[in-house]
Amino acid sequence: MTIASAATATPDKDWWRGAVIYQIYPRSFQDSNGDGIGDLKGITARLPHISALGADGIWISPFFPSPMKDFGYDVSNYTDVDPMFGSLSDFDSLIAEAHRLGLKVMIDLVMSHSSDQHAWFVESRSSRFNPKSDWYVWADARPDGTPPNNWLSIFGGSAWAWDPTRMQYYMHNFLTSQPDLNLHNAEVQDALLDMTRFWLKHGVDGFRLDTINFYFHDRELRDNPALDPSRRNASTAPAVNPYNFQEHIYDKNRPENLEFLRRFRAVLDEFPAIAAVGEVGDSQRGLEIVGEYTSGDDKMQMCYAFEFLAPDPLTPARVREVQDAFSVAAPDGWACWAFSNHDVVRHVSRWGQDVADREAFARIMASILLTQRGSVCIYQGEELGLTEADIAYADLQDPYGIQFWPEFKGRDGCRTPMVWDAQALQAGFSTAEKTWLPIPVEHQLKAVGAQYGDPASVLEHYRRFLAFRRQHPVFAKGDILFLPEDGNVLRYKRQYGNETLLCLFNMSPEDAVTDLPAGDWEALAGHGFDSGLEDRRLHLPAWGAFFARHA
């Protein structure tokens, strides 16, 4: 083998830095067997869509065996595939096809908790003295029979559930059917790391780590302090949830997690070019924790917090505020940004509820996201400009929405099936008479087939802009330097090596005029936006953008 060919065969360990990852919610992507629920074979069949879009890889939400109380985030077997989604052989085929298309594959690991039907928990709850008795978080009641402390569940109520067999409480940060694993126990850590190796041996390229800051709890089970009302917000939990009334310093965000993340990273490093992104769920310390978890080269490659997934309107000031806060909290870290995912209201609805031209709004939001410093996650259907679906109470599946209806309608509105063909039954998602969640008529009109090839469509804008991003490595790897805001115009430079690009965005429904910064700028094409430039005065139409290279 020549030196050149050997170098070509060497995996790029830095592939994740600036990568665009397409998130797939498997229940809702493509049904291959007509049962109204998406599956692995369906994902495999639709991978060409993601490849043609221009993404670098995929993240697949959980597909492991599960009673589906929380739709896969309650795992009953970490090393298999739920028959609803197919088989391990189907997963291996998916991996092979993704790699053939040049796509990396990341899967969702849920290590903070399991299902109460997992064999580990069944054994743990059987007595106080079995080999796995300490694999979950158990505690005695207070003298009056109440839970051991004031910790709350994100899904409502106490974070403790009574077990009559052990005559003890067990901890659950989420549903009562999702008991928390005790990662203070080294055997639990070893089992989770062995599970990680299992999937790496099946060829995955990385992981998204669910609720990464929930892995450890305070050994002393101290009460959380109350949170000052002025500091409450609804990014981790909906505003109607009393979870927001506490400062969560003892039930999560524990310092012991750092050493476990080092152990986890060491396992990743046993394999070539593996990466992980952690989900940090905390309203007060999110970016600070991201900084801790991504510092150095011995923990996570990247994490994301909820700043761009929160209800706060996206404005030029907000974009700068988030990036500046990240640079302070994690100067050596790397972020993975998303505007939408399977847990939040789709951003076209969340931020654009009153916008008349939703398609133009979707195009400008995509362009802002794809030019941020960091890696990017795109959520399925985002590339079509899908809005949040309005799901009737009778059709709700999400226990979160059922618990807090009608003030909070849950997460079903962003989880409805993908729309492929407006003319086909169930928009091409399934041949079933009924799908697990209904498909809104307004979504069918935005199906892939209806937008494909239309240069004015949101889909073609995503494809065009992702190609534009690939042409300029500065977007994936470079630094970001914000310029003073000019009304509703967001202004920043991206710099990498000898290249400096100027990015200007009109984040309003009205035309805007702004001045170019000092220097010689050469306007760039290929991104799909038109603007007028006269004597360094730039005329940006509503929801318009301008890009230029420093000459």
Closest C-alpha to 446, from 334, 358, 353, 547: 358
pLDDT score, position 206: 98
Closest C-alpha to 112, from 285, 1, 3, 261: 261
Amino acid occupying residue 306: F
* Highest CATH level, class, for 3-112+188-469: alpha beta
* Whether 292 is catalytic: no
Backbone φ and ψ for 286, nearest 5 degrees, come out as -50, -55
Low-confidence residues in the chain, pLDDT < 50: 1-8
Residue 537 is given by DSSP the state E
Question: How many Å is the Cα radius of gyration of the chain?
Answer: 24
pLDDT score, position 238: 79
DSSP lists the bridge partners of residue 532 as 539
pLDDT score, position 62: 98
* CA 239/CA 244 separation, integer angstroms: 7
What is the DSSP code string of 325-373?
Answer: HHHHH-TT--BEEES--TTS--HHHHTTTT-S-HHHHHHHHHHHHTTSS
Task: Give the C-alpha distances (Å, rounded to integers) separating 126 from 131, 134, 160, 174, 507.
Answer: 10, 12, 17, 22, 58
Of 14, 190, 269, 270, which residue is the catalytic one? 270
Q: Give Cβ neighbours of residue 74 (< 8 Å, ≥ 6 apart).
A: 66, 67, 68, 110, 113, 114, 115, 116, 117, 175, 177, 178
For 441, counting Cβ atoms within 10 Å of its Cβ (0-12 exposed, 13-18 middle, 19+ buried), the class is: exposed
* CA 528/CA 519 separation, integer angstroms: 24
pLDDT score, position 4: 38
Render pLDDT for 468-520 as a digit per residue (tens, 0 to 9): 999 999 999 999 999 998 999 999 999 999 999 999 999 999 999 999 999 99
* CA 286/CA 231 separation, integer angstroms: 13
pLDDT score, position 533: 84
Of 210, 251, 282, 388, which residue is the catalytic one? 210
Please tell me the number of Cα atoms within 13 Å of 14 on its side-chain side: 6
pLDDT score, position 318: 97
Question: 294 is written with which tokens?
Answer: 């991504």
pLDDT score, position 9: 64
**Structural domain spans, the chain:** 3-112+188-469, 479-550
* Whether 270 is catalytic: yes
Question: 295 is written with which tokens?
Answer: 């510092």
DSSP lists the bridge partners of residue 139 as 169
pLDDT score, position 531: 85
pLDDT score, position 235: 65
Closest C-alpha to 442, from 500, 385, 487: 385
pLDDT score, position 323: 96
pTM score of the predicted model: 0.96
Q: Which CATH number does 479-550 carry?
A: 2.60.40.1180
Contact by Cβ (8 Å): 32, 42? yes
Contact by Cβ (8 Å): 105, 94? yes
pLDDT score, position 305: 84
Closest C-alpha to 456, from 363, 382, 349, 523: 363
pLDDT score, position 5: 37
